[in-house]
Chain A
Amino acid sequence: MTTTHCPYCSLQCGMTLELKGRALEVQPWPEFPVNEGALCRKGWTATGLRGHRERLTTPLVRDRATGELRAAGWDEALDLVAGRLRELRDGHGPDTVAVFGGGGLTNEKAYQLGKLARVAIGTSQIDYNGRWCMSSAASAANRAFGIDRGLPFPLADVEHTDVLVLVGSNLAETMPPAARHLDRLRESGGRVVVIDPRRTPTADRADLFLQPVPGTDLALALGLLHLLDAAGAVDEEYVAARTTGFDDVRRAVAAWWPERVERVTGVATAQLRRLCTLLAGAGRVTVLTARGAEQHAQGTDTVLAWIDVALALGMPGREFAGYGCLTGQGNGQGGREHGQKADQLPGYRMIDDPAAREHVARVWGVDPDALPGAGRSAYELLDALGTDDGSRALLVFGSNIVVSAPNATQVTARLAALDLLVVADIVMSETAAMADVVLPVTQWAEETGTMTNLEGRVILRERAVAPPDGVRSDLDVMAGLAERLGSPVPFETDPEAVFAELGRASAGGRADYAGITYERIRDEHGVFWPCPSADHAGTPRMFADAFATPDGRARFVAVDHRGPAEVPDATYPLHLTTGRVLAQYQSGAQTRRVRDLPDDGPFVEMHPMLATRIGAYDGEPVVVTTRRGELKAPARIVSTIRPDTVFVPFHWVGANRLTNDALDPASRMPEFKACACAVGLDTPSLVPRDGCSTNETPVGRVASASERIETPA
C-alpha cells in the first residue's frame, strides 16, 4: 500500500493506492489532515487513466511526407528535437526557443524545467499556465505582505474563525472535501459569506450570499471598507502598529458609498450593510479569494482591495484569521516557486536580483552572467510565437494550451506558425495533436515527486506502480535533451536527488525548502515552507510577529475600480463568465478520458428570464458569441445565475475561444472571468417562442439536491 495524493487540484487530498490483482485501487488515508479521508469523484476514479487505451507509450514524430504523426524511438525523437533546437538557436539566438510549463508538474519537474531553459537552452522565454491561475493573488500578496504563500495558515484553521468570506470561490464543486471545513465552522456557530455571480453549491452553504456583476468584486470591497470605516470598525491600533499606507486607502474608499457600489456591482445596499454588520461584530475574520476575484485585468487590484479589508479589520497575523488565496492547480503553489516563471529563479528569487543569480548559478555550477534575464509572461510568450521577435520553437510540459489559453483561436494560430512544437504528455491532448514531436511521459502513481499544496505544505506523491513500457519520466526527458543540447552541467534524473538540489537552490530565498527531505515529509504529513534547516519545524502559520516586508509591516495599497476591459454593449449585451464543473479538471485532458466521470461537454448556463427573452429551452443548443469567437452548446437553464450573465465551463475546446486576452498590468493574468457576449438560438425558430404567443415557458432542470426547481412566471 502506498500513501500519495490526488493527481488533480491544489487541495492534494491524501489517499492510498493498493494493487489488488491487476487493479490499482484508491482508498482513504484518514490520517492526512487536509481532507481526513474524504475525496470527490475525481479522486476516487484517479486511477482511470492507468492502462487506458489512449495512453501514449511511444514517441511520435510528424512525418514530413504524410504530415501525420508516426511512432519513433526515443533516441530518434530526442536527437531530432535537440538537432532542430540547436539549428534554431545557432541561427536566431537562444530566445528563439521557448518553454511552457504547468502548475500540475511536481516541484522537481518545475525546478528542472527552469534549469533546462536557463542553463541547457539559455533562453529567457519560459513561463507556465499558473500565470492563468492565481498569479494576481501572488502579485497582490507580494505587494501587501512581501511574500506569496496561498494560505499563510493551514486550511483547517478556517473552522475556528468567526466569519469566513469567500470571494469568487466555488470550493464545494472545485475542491469538495474542503467544504467540510465550512460545515464544521457553521456547526460551531461561525458564519460563511459567499460572493459569486452564481449561487453555487458553495453559496448554498453560506449564511450570506452576495451576487455581484462579474468583474465588480473590487468595487464591492471598496464599498465594504467604506462602511466598515464609517462604522468605526477599523482596528486603529493594529493599523498603526503593523501596517503602512492606510490613509491613502481611507481616502480611496470614502468615494465608494453604498449606493454608488450598488449601481456598479448590482448588489443591493441592504446586502452590503448586512456584510458590514457581520464583519464589524466579528472577532476573527478570514477572507479567501479564488479565481473569480483574480482572473481579471484588475485581478491584482481586486485582491489588494480585499487584503485592505482584512488589514483594516486587523486580521492578518492573528490566530484563525487573515487573508488567503485558494490556489487552483495541484502544484499551483510549488510550480510558481522554483523557476518556471519568466521572472523568477528557485526559492521565489527574482531573476533580476544579482544576489539571487549569484546564489542559484553557484548551485547550478555555471557563471551568473550566463543566466538569461526575465522573459515574457505566458500569454505574451504565446502571442509572440512565430512572429519576428517571438520564439520559433516551443517545448510544452504539462499544459494543454489549445484548450486553456484565453482567446484560444489566436493562440492556436500562433502554435501553428511555429517551426517546431514539442509536447510531453501522457495522452494525445489537443495541443499534443498539433505537435511535431510528442514525447510520452510517466503519470501520477508511476513516479515520485513532491507538490506544494494550497497551504504551502510540501507533500510527497510516491510511486505505486511501474510505468508502461516505452514511457520516460519528464526528468529523464529533460536530462536527455540537456545532454544533447550540450549543457555545461549534467541534469539529475532521480527525483529525490533533484529535490535535494532544489532545496540548496532555494536556501535563503523567500520559499526556502532547504530543511525539507522526503523522510521528513513522510514523518510529518508534509512540511510547511519556509523551512531553512533540518532542525527547523517548518512554518504552518505566518505573520504572527512580522510581515515579510523590509520594515516588517504589511502595506495597504490604495486601488480604484475600473471594471472589466470589455463591458456589455448593444451588440454584446451580456456578461460571460467561465469556470469549472465538479467532475472535470482544467483542460480535461485527463478527466475527460476517465470512463467513470461524466463527460457531457460544455453547456451555456443562463437564467430563465434570459432564456425567455431569447426563446431558449433547457437542453437545446444556443450560440454564444464574443468579439473573438463563438461556441454552440446546449442551454442549461437555472435560476441560480444572474439574469444578465451566462456561464460556460472551460474544460472543453470552445469556452476559451470566447474569453478576452486583456491582461492584468501587474500579474499578466488574462481576463478569463468577464467579457461581453451575445447569446442566441442555434437556428431561428419558425414557431414564435418569445413566451408571449404560447403558454410555454422554459423549465429549470434538476441539477442537484440543493437546487430548487423553479419555473419563471
Chain B
Amino acid sequence: MSLVVYYSSATGNTHNFVERLSVRALRIERKGEPLILNEPYVLVIPTYADNEGGGAVPKAVIHFLNHVGNRALIRAVVAGGNRNFGKMYALSGAVVARKCSVPCLYCFELRGTDDDVCRVRLRLNKFWKQQC
C-alpha cells in the first residue's frame, strides 16, 4: 500500500520532497506515455496559481486526473506552494480536494523542511491505516 503519485516541474522541489518521504512513488511526466493507475494513491503536487487563482493545478496533473480510472483511485492530496503567494498558497491542494472529494492532508513550502517530511510520513501511515 502507501503509493504516492506526484508531479514536479524542472525545479524539482516536489521531486525532492517525495524522494525524502522514502515511499513507493510514481511521477506524472509531461510528455510520453500517460500514467494509468490500478491501485489507490495519494497525490503530491506543487501550485502554479496566478493572482486570480487560475492555473493552480499543473496541466499534466489535470490530464492525469481527467482519466476516469485514475480519478477513481485518488484517496488524498498533499500540496506544495509558497506562503509568499498569500491566499494562493498551496491552492492546488484545495482545488483537487474539492474536485475529487478527497481530503488535503498537508501543505508544505517549496521542497519542505525535514519536519514537513516527518509529518507527512506520519499522516500517510495513519491515513492508510484508516483506509484499510
Q: Do A and B come from one complex?
A: no
